């Protein structure tokens, strides 16, 4: 990983327009890191890029569908071509399908695996040769506490995040000798649109549901996106230069039940 003071580097961030993604993009931009933003909505990516460019960084947008293998396989080379290097990959995009296994559909499983597991696999596979040729890099995956300690009635989600956690450990071990550090952040509940939408789908008032969750956390509140972004940016930085293959739980002291 380059020292931002001397060479800010280039980060590829998936799920850039989600709650955590936006917070990560803003943190990177403030530190001087140039950005390749990936998500589905071209208009939302363009608006985020316009917000970040006044901070003095270069920002390129790469709208596309992470369930498309061709998009994933080609994206890292496109980023390197557009921005001159690729120093950081943040596999942040993800989705959650809830319910018991008897309620899960084939589409729930296939889509969750495609976004939460196959896309990070393809992106890492394509990024690693680029990073190795440059002398190193950092990959940070957004896994979940629920991938380490599976919670109830989220089988599909827990399986995919457990796979991503295992992928992190395998990649961290296998590519440390190339100076490529691979780590994962494992949040518990985060106050994002995805969380709130899940409450609304179940007919709950999102604000009330978040307040109930807040009371269950020893630190007094579920995570805000910025609190997860801080850890992601740290793991991508030289300050975490001796961390490799780590699953960093960010849970406010709340265990998974």
What is the sign of the dihedral through the CA atoms of 21, 12, 26 and 3? positive
Q: Which of 99, 254, 101 is nearest to 186 (CA)?
A: 254
Distances (CA, A) of 237 to 4, 86, 200: 8, 14, 37
Helix 42-52 and helix 19-30, axial crossing angle in degrees, nearest 10: 30
Eight-state DSSP code of residue 118 = I
| Torsion angles phi and psi, residue 61, rounded to 5 | -110, 145
Q: Annotated catalytic, 157?
A: yes
Q: Which of the following is catalytic: 71, 149, 157, 242?
A: 157
Length of the chain counted residue by residue: 257
3-state helix, strand, coil in the chain (%, to 5): 55, 15, 30
Q: Are 182 and 221 in contact (CB under 8 A)?
A: no
C-alpha span between 35 and 182 (Å, rounded): 19
Known catalytic residues are 157
């Amino acid at each position: 990983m380059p020292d931002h003071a001397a060479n800010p580097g280039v980060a590829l961030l998936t799920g850039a327009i989600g709650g955590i993604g936006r917070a990560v993009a803003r943190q990177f931009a403030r530190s001087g890191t140039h950005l390749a933003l990936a998500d589905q909505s071209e208009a939302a990516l363009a608006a985020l890029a316009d917000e970040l460019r006044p901070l003095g960084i270069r920002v390129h947008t790469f709208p596309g569908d992470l369930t498309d293998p061709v998009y994933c396989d080609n994206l890292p080379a496109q980023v390197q071509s557009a921005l001159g290097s690729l120093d950081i990959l943040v596999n942040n995009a993800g989705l959650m399908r809830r319910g018991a296994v008897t309620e899960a559909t084939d589409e729930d499983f296939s889509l969750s695996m495609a976004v939460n597991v196959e896309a990070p696999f393809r992106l890492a596979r394509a990024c690693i040769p680029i990073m190795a040729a440059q002398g190193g890099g950092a990959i940070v995956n957004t896994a979940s506490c629920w991938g380490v300690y599976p919670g109830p009635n989220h089988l599909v989600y827990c399986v995919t995040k457990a796979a991503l956690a295992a992928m992190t450990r395998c990649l961290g071990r296998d590519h440390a000798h190339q100076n490529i550090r691979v780590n994962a952040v494992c949040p518990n509940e985060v106050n994002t649109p995805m969380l709130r939408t899940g409450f609304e789908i179940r007919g709950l008032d999102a604000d009330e549901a978040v307040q109930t969750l807040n009371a269950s956390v020893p630190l007094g509140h579920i995570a805000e996106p910025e609190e997860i972004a801080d850890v992601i940016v740290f793991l991508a930085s030289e300050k975490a230069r001796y961390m490799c293959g780590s699953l960093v739980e960010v849970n406010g002291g709340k265990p998974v039940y």
